[in-house]
Structure 1
Amino acid sequence: MEKVDPVERRAYCRVSIDMDIEVCHIQDEGQSFDLSVILCRGRDVSGGGISFYGHIRYTNESLLRLQIPLSTKESTSRTDGVRLLKVLGKVMWCKKNIDTNSYVTGVQFLNIYEQDFKILVDYVHGCLSV
């Protein structure tokens, strides 16, 4: 008899993304860093977190400050239809991507403003309905 994998259970829907995100490694096991910003490439995002490609191997539990540009329905002279989501996250996993000699990192959002969360969820649902 063939073994069947259980259905993946997640609190939030996630969608694939292909955009630059800014990552700042702020703490790892109590050690602070120089707060340099590194440009990484988004892989997927949900209301609970994000995964991205980069050239740094982060350890689990590392704290990262992320800036994620999300398109919004609203366009003003200041925003041009893009909202820069700024959020603190915790590394949940980091895996080597052998094909590209880089890493794929999964991050759980730790704090997110209610308005930013709404924009993020609207963005994800907008991607799903296309």
Structure 2
Amino acid sequence: MRYVVVMLILIAVTLMPITAHAQLVVVKPPINGACWGLWNVTILPGQYLVIHVLSNNYSLYVFTPTQYSDWVSGGGAFAVYAQYVVDGEAYVVPLPPGQYSVVLYPTPCGVGVNAVIRVVDWPGLV
């Protein structure tokens, strides 16, 4: 099963013309009462962030911890990366080494987000 998932991610990544560059993007603050999925990740040299959305469509925001804190506080914040992500697709985001808060927004409150967020070594994606 794990092999199948890795192969599907490799195929999806190969077919998608996604090149992500870490540049600051202004992100509007969350709407009052809105919910989101949050993953805290650490990227080491030679690693990549992989997002595989299994259902629904979301705005993907990648923040540093300070940027995330600013965003949650209701202020407009800069994000290291922002993109609209869609159901069934996988995305590879190369980032410089560091700690990041990965957000899928908005999500239904009280319901788990059906997505896989992983940090992987390239090209193995293991």
- Per the normalisation by structure 1, the TM-score is 0.26
Structure of greater relative contact order (alpha carbons < 8 Å, 6+ residues apart): 2
- Per the normalisation by structure 2, the TM-score is 0.27
Structure showing the higher strand proportion among its residues? 1
